């Protein structure tokens, strides 16, 4: 546990009192990304969360931000009701904002400026509808206290050094591929579908080989 003396008289709310009020696309993509990253870091000392109040000034409950998705490496992955940077001892290592019409200004201006000041090493913006960002995926890396744009490859993919992943916008979703193995991250449902498809393909190949053997006999 972090060796920080808490001010017991200060109450840090677990909600800002505002409804999320987001589209299905925005909410579903945010939840999907959190699941992908939690599965990716399963069993490691890495905390993955999103839509959680992150307080960044001790003693001032008005100083908070709510990232859509964030990753903090080197801390207990236990569930939290709020995240206090001074108590945990570090800011998030990487943040992903799923941009919508409602959040575009905050996501492109206000939040990145704050994240850079807090020392968030990488920040990504993704627009699943491709209506508010062009290109729909942008990334920034902290260099000497300021964000510099991460250059995209020919397919528009960005490399996250902090996550060890290649990120790419594909059909309204943020695709995440491991740099070390080349494997795409899958949700539990996507994993089950992939296994079922692999089984069907294997069964079809066995049937084809049997038929070919029968013809040769």
Q: Which comes out higher in pLDDT, residue 179 or 205? A: 179
Question: What is the tally of structural domains in the chain?
Answer: 2
Q: What is the pTM of this model?
A: 0.87
**Distance from C-alpha of 192 to C-alpha of 199, rounded to nearest angstrom:** 11
| Look-up of token digits 């290592």 | 93
Residue 2 lies in a domain: no
Residue 72 DSSP SS3: strand
pLDDT(4) > 60: no
Give the CA count within 13 Å in the CB-facing half-sphere of 103.
22
Residue 92 lies in a domain: yes
pLDDT digits (tens, 9 = 90+) for 101-127: 888 999 999 999 999 999 999 999 999
Residue 88 confidence (pLDDT): 98
Q: Are residues 140 and 191 in the same domain?
A: no
Residue 19 lies in a domain: no
Question: Which burial class, exposed, middle or buried, applies to 56 when counting CB atoms under 10 A from its CB (0-12, 13-18, 19+)?
Answer: middle
Residue 101 lies in a domain: yes
**Distance from C-alpha of 16 to C-alpha of 12, rounded to nearest angstrom:** 10
Q: Rounded to an integer, what is the distance from CA 20 to the centroid of its chain?
A: 18
pLDDT digits (tens, 9 = 90+) for 180-195: 999 999 999 987 977 7
Q: Which comes out higher in pLDDT, residue 25 or 74? A: 74
Q: What is the residue range of 199's domain?
A: 187-217
Residue 6 confidence (pLDDT): 57
Q: Are residues 73 and 158 in the same domain?
A: yes
Residue 194 DSSP SS3: helix
Would you tell me how many other CB atoms lie within 10 Å of the CB of residue 12? 19
Using an 8 Å Cβ cutoff, are 212 and 205 in contact? no
Residue 140 DSSP SS3: strand
Q: What is the DSSP letter of 122?
A: E
Q: Are residues 159 and 198 in the same domain?
A: no
């Amino acid at each position: 546990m972090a060796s920080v003396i808490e001010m017991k008289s200060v109450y840090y709310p677990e909600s800002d009192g505002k409804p999320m009020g987001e589209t299905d696309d925005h909410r579903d993509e945010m939840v999907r990304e959190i699941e992908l990253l939690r599965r990716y870091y399963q069993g490691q000392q890495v905390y993955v969360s999103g839509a959680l109040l992150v307080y960044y000034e001790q003693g001032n409950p008005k100083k908070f931000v709510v990232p859509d998705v964030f990753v903090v490496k080197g801390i207990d992955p236990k569930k939290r009701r709020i995240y206090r940077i001074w108590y945990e001892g570090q800011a998030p290592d990487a943040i992903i904002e799923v941009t919508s019409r409602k959040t575009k200004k905050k996501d492109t201006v206000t939040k990145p400026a704050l994240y850079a000041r807090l020392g968030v090493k990488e920040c990504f913006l993704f627009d699943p509808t491709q209506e508010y960002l062009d290109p729909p995926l942008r990334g920034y890396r902290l260099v000497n206290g300021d964000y510099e744009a991460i250059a995209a490859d020919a397919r528009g993919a960005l490399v996250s050094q902090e996550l060890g992943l290649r990120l790419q916008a594909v059909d309204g979703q943020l695709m995440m591929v491991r740099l070390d193995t080349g494997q795409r991250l899958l949700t539990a449902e996507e994993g089950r579908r992939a296994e079922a498809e692999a089984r069907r393909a294997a069964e079809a190949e066995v049937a084809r080989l049997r038929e070919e053997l029968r013809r040769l006999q």
